[in-house]
A and B are shown apart, each in its own frame.
Chain A
Amino acid sequence: MTRPAAPPARRPAARLGWLVPAVTLGGLLPVAVLILDALSGALGANPIQRATLQTGLLTLALLVLSLACTPLRLLTGWTWPARIRKTLGLLAFGYAALHFLIYLFDHGFDLTLMTEDVLKRPFITAGFTALLLLVPLALTSTPRAVRRLGFQRWTRLHQLSYVAVSLGALHYYWGVKQDHTPPLIYAAVIATLFLIRLLKRRPARPARQAGSRPAKP
Chain B
Amino acid sequence: MTDPRTPGEPGTDRRASELHGAESHSPESQVTDTPDGQRRILTPGTPNPRREFLRSAALFTATAGALGGGLELLTRRPGVGSAEAQAADPFSRAVRPLGPYDTDEKVTPYQQATTYNNFYEFGTDKSDPARLAGSLKTRPWTVRIDGEVRKPMTVDIDTLQSWFPLEDRIYRMRCVEGWSMVMPWLGFPLAALIRRLEPTGKAKYVQFTALLDPKQFPGQRQPVLKWPYVEGLRLDEALHPLAFMAVGLHGRALPGQNGAPLRLVVPWKYGFKNIKSVVRITLTEKQPQTTWALAAPQEYGFYANVNPAVPHPRWSQATERRIGEVGRRKTLPFNGYADEVAGLYRGMDLRKNF
Q: Which residues of A contact B (CB under 8 A)?
A: 1-2, 6-7, 10-15, 17-19, 21-23, 25-30, 33, 37, 40-50, 53-54, 57-58, 61-62, 79, 82-83, 85-86, 106-108, 113, 116-117, 120-124, 141, 143, 146-147, 150-151, 154-155, 174-175, 177-179
Contact = CB atoms under 8 A, between A and B. Distances in A.
B14 A33 contact: no
Contacts of A45: 79, 108, 111-113, 115-116, 126, 323-324
Nearest to A89: B1
B311 interface: yes
B68 A54 contact: no
Contacts, number: 196
A142 B252 CA distance: 61
- Residue among A13, A14, A106 facing the most chain B CB atoms (10 A cut-off): A13
Given A41-B81, A44-B126, A13 B86 contact: no
Given A18-B63, A45-B79, A27 B71 contact: yes
Contacts of B61: 22
Q: How large is the interface on B (under 10, 10 to 19, 20 to 34, 35 or more residues)?
A: 35 or more
Interface string B319-333: 101011011100000
29 contacts: A6-B28, A11-B18, A13-B11, A14-B18, A14-B47, A18-B57, A19-B63, A22-B64, A23-B67, A26-B69, A29-B64, A30-B68, A30-B75, A33-B76, A44-B116, A44-B127, A45-B108, A45-B111, A45-B112, A82-B1, A108-B327, A108-B328, A120-B311, A124-B315, A146-B1, A174-B314, A177-B177, A178-B224, A178-B295
Contact of B75 (A13, A23, A61, A113): A61
A58 B3 CA distance: 26
Contacts of A41: 79, 81-84, 86
A116 B81 CA distance: 36
A160 to B, nearest CB: 15
Contacts of A86: 1
